[in-house]
């Protein structure tokens, strides 16, 4: 093909050396096996955008499964095959995953009147994808390594920051793409073109969204709620009346908007604090989204999204627990309670509820206390352990956790901060318990 831009140098400079090497190996293997191999999709898009992307997607013009098997053997990896879809995942020894798909013409019998015979299989494979920016491929064969295959002006769309579908039935074929379009808009700060926006409106007028299964709908919503610009996505969804599709009462009122914006702020704060946060953002956003719904309405929303019974119970329990915690915190503040009391109020709650509670707190002081809990109280550990108590000959039983809890409280309240003072306090507590036990025994034996 003429006019193919070569991005080999870009690949070399923007990819980790081992990934670059892997692409070369895949291309060389393709030549040995007599098949063309391409890197495709989001992986290529993100190279051009210079954004990290850990998913490698390959497409093979030929038998993708066989190619994946040989590739896996050569690189000492494992393989998971989906014969029905002619796809496979190769898992390399270092954990890196490589998705391999088969590009074959006969799979894509499109309703759009296209002269399929004129299309190569890679072109057909790319044509069935969602947006032009995701429909780029890079040739990996050694003689053409790095040649960018751009049938649908994707480079222009990337330059002009456009989200654009490849054909007018894209959303009819897959309505989840509506949410993907919104997600990519906000993530890359791109914009749908007018045609794409019009096609979304048409698809919504045809109620195509209502036909989506709860599982797929939730998955897309989940992906949105794990993005960085969640509120912006919700705003955009609301502009298409898409929140109402989730639940008829969901609307981005000023109040809901300010709640979600606080949720976003707290989550960003928490993420900044911990490099690898183990927080599930989607759960906090889900609580925020449901804030204007009562339990019965929330349950309808969760059923629409095909939540498991377990998840449903979890969310309802969290909401109930939150109401209780808010009350406890107010009382605690009223009586100027100790830090250890604060600790024992918040400690049983899942992290997601605590962050949501923080987002919903109106008073600055309350936020400060919750922040103190998360950043300091939660991480302090008592250095005296059950083993130490055993060495003090405390007889086994529930008294162990009582003593450790008392030590924990003392530590938080600054009364026994180091191991030494904790050991002294533990000794006193154990002595007292032993004395109590001895007294009980005397009572038992005396008539
Ligand atoms: N794709 C599609 N329609 C969908 C989902 C995916 O056409 N509903 C295609 C796109 O070409 C996409 C590829 O499948 O690039 C892989 O999808 P995904 O795994 O979601 O990857 P990314 O596009 O990389 O998205 P993300 O960056 O969020 O992982």
What are the CA-CA distances from residue 238 to residues 249, 301, 423 (Å)?
A: 12, 16, 58
Q: How far apart are CA 58 and CA 38, in angstroms?
A: 5
Radius of gyration of the chain (CA): 29
In Å, how far from its chain's centre is CA 164?
A: 25
Residue in 134, 182, 185, 196 to alter for ligand 1 test, most ligand atoms within 8 A of Cβ: 134
Q: Which atom of ligand 1 is nearest to the CA of 53?
A: 27
**b/e map 124-151, b = 16+ CB within 10 Å:** bbbbbbbbbbbbbbbbbbeebbbbbbbb
Per-residue pLDDT, 115: 46
Which protein residue's CA is at the shortest distance from atom 9 of ligand 1? 129
Q: How many CB atoms lie within 10 A of CB 288?
A: 25
More confident residue, 74 or 446: 74
Q: Which atom of ligand 1 is nearest to the CA of 184?
A: 28
Say which CATH architecture domain 1-160 belongs to: 2-Layer Sandwich (3.30)
pTM: 0.88
Q: How confident is the model at residue 117 (pLDDT cuts 50, 70, 90)?
A: very low
Rounded to an integer, the average pLDDT of 160-174 is: 96
Express each pLDDT in 80-100 by its tens digit. Answer: 999 988 999 999 999 999 999
Q: How confident is the model at residue 107 (pLDDT cuts 50, 70, 90)?
A: very low
Axis-axis angle for helices 254-273, 351-360 (nearest 10): 130
Nearest CA among 140, 164, 170, 138 for reference residue 152: 164
Which protein residue's CA is at the shortest distance from atom 21 of ligand 1? 42
The percent of residues above 90 in pLDDT, for the chain, comes to 84
- Going through 107-222 in order, the beta strands assigned E by DSSP cover 137-139, 148-149, 162-163, 191-192
Express each pLDDT in 180-231 by its tens digit. Answer: 999 999 999 999 999 999 999 999 999 998 889 999 999 999 999 999 999 9
The percent of residues above 70 in pLDDT, for the chain, comes to 95
Q: Measured in angstroms, how far is the CA atom of residue 129 from the centroid of ligand 1?
A: 8
Residue in 40, 130, 152, 225 to alter for ligand 1 test, most ligand atoms within 8 A of Cβ: 130
Q: Which atom of ligand 1 is nearest to the CA of 130?
A: 7
Q: Measured in angstroms, how far is the CA atom of residue 54 from the centroid of ligand 1?
A: 13
Q: How far apart are CA 111 and CA 274, in angstroms?
A: 49
Which protein residue's CA is at the shortest distance from atom 23 of ligand 1? 42
Q: Which atom of ligand 1 is nearest to the CA of 183?
A: 28
Q: Measured in angstroms, how far is the CA atom of residue 353 from the centroid of ligand 1?
A: 31
Q: Do 316 and 295 form a contact (C-beta atoms < 8 A)? A: yes
Q: Which atom of ligand 1 is nearest to the CA of 57?
A: 16
Which protein residue's CA is at the shortest distance from atom 8 of ligand 1? 177
Predicted-assembly ipTM surpassing the 0.90 threshold: yes
Query: Residue 181 in 3-state DSSP?
Result: helix
Which protein residue's CA is at the shortest distance from atom 3 of ligand 1? 130
Query: What is the token pair recorded at 197?
Result: 């926006």
Rounded to an integer, the average pLDDT of 406-419 is: 93
Q: Measured in angstroms, how far is the CA atom of residue 177 from the centroid of ligand 1?
A: 9
Express each pLDDT in 266-316 by its tens digit. Answer: 999 998 887 566 778 999 999 999 999 999 999 999 999 999 999 999 999
Axis-axis angle for helices 364-375, 351-360 (nearest 10): 160
Q: Do 90 and 77 form a contact (C-beta atoms < 8 A)? A: yes
Per-residue pLDDT, 118: 45
Residues in contact with ligand 1 by the CB-under-6-Å rule are 41-42, 55, 129-130, 134, 174, 176-177, 180
Which protein residue's CA is at the shortest distance from atom 20 of ligand 1? 42
Query: Residue 89 in 3-state DSSP?
Result: strand
Which protein residue's CA is at the shortest distance from atom 19 of ligand 1? 42
Per-residue pLDDT, 436: 87
Residue 113 pLDDT exceeds 70: no
Q: Which atom of ligand 1 is nearest to the CA of 174?
A: 8
Per-residue pLDDT, 277: 65
Query: What is the token pair recorded at 234?
Result: 């919700």
Strand pairing partners for 139? 38
Per-residue pLDDT, 300: 97
Residue 144 pLDDT exceeds 60: yes
Residue in 129, 172, 185 to alter for ligand 1 test, most ligand atoms within 8 A of Cβ: 129
Q: How confident is the model at residue 446 (pLDDT cuts 50, 70, 90)?
A: low
Per-residue pLDDT, 445: 67
Summary mean pLDDT of the chain: 92
Q: How confident is the model at residue 447 (pLDDT cuts 50, 70, 90)?
A: low
Residue in 38, 39, 40, 42 to alter for ligand 1 test, most ligand atoms within 8 A of Cβ: 42
Which protein residue's CA is at the shortest distance from atom 26 of ligand 1? 42
8-state DSSP, 93: T
Express each pLDDT in 342-386 by its tens digit. Answer: 999 999 999 999 999 999 998 888 999 999 999 999 988 999 999
Q: Measured in angstroms, how far is the CA atom of residue 348 from the centroid of ligand 1?
A: 38
Q: Which atom of ligand 1 is nearest to the CA of 42?
A: 24
């Amino acid at each position: 093909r003429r006019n193919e831009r070569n991005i080999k140098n870009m690949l070399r400079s923007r990819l980790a050396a081992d990934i670059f090497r892997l692409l070369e190996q895949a291309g060389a293997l393709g030549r040995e096996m007599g098949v063309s191999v391409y890197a495709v999709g989001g992986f290529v898009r993100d190279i051009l955008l210079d954004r990290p992307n850990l998913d490698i997607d390959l497409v093979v013009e030929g038998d993708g499964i066989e190619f994946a098997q040989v590739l896996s053997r050569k690189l000492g990896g494992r393989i998971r095959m989906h014969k029905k879809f002619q796809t496979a995942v190769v898992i390399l020894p270092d954990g890196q995953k490589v998705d391999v798909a088969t590009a074959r013409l006969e799979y894509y019998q499109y309703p759009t009147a296209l002269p399929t015979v004129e299309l190569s299989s890679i072109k057909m494979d790319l044509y069935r994808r969602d947006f032009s920016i995701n429909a780029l491929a890079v040739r990996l064969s050694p003689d053409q390594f790095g040649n960018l295959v751009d049938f649908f002006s994707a480079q222009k769309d990337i330059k002009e920051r456009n989200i654009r579908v490849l054909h007018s039935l894209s959303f009819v074929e897959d309505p989840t793409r509506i949410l993907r379009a919104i997600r990519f808009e906000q993530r890359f700060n791109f914009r749908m073109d007018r045609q794409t926006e019009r096609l979304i409106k048409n698809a919504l007028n045809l109620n195509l969204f209502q036909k989506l299964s709860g599982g797929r709908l939730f998955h897309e919503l989940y992906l949105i709620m794990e993005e960085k610009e969640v509120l912006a996505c919700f705003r955009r969804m609301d502009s298409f009346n898409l929140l109402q599709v989730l639940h008829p009462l969901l609307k981005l009122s000023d109040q809901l908007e300010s709640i979600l914006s606080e949720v976003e702020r707290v989550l960003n704060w928490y993420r900044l604090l911990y490099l690898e946060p183990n927080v599930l953002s989607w759960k906090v956003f889900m609580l925020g989204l449901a804030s204007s719904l009562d339990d019965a309405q929330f349950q309808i929303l969760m059923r629409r999204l095909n939540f498991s019974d377990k998840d449903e119970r979890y969310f309802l329990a969290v909401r109930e627990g939150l109401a209780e915690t808010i009350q406890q915190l107010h009382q605690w503040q009223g009586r100027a309670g100790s830090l250890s009391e604060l600790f024992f109020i918040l400690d049983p709650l899942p992290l997601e509820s605590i962050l949501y509670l923080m987002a919903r707190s109106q008073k600055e002081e309350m936020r400060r206390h919750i922040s103190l809990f998360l950043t300091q109280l939660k991480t302090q550990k008592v250095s005296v352990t059950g083993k130490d108590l055993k060495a003090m000959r405390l007889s086994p039983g529930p008294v162990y956790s009582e003593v450790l809890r008392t030590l924990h409280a003392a530590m938080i309240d600054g009364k026994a901060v180091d191991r030494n003072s904790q050991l002294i306090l533990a000794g006193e507590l154990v002595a007292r318990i032993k004395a109590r036990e001895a007294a009980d025994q005397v009572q038992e034996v005396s008539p």
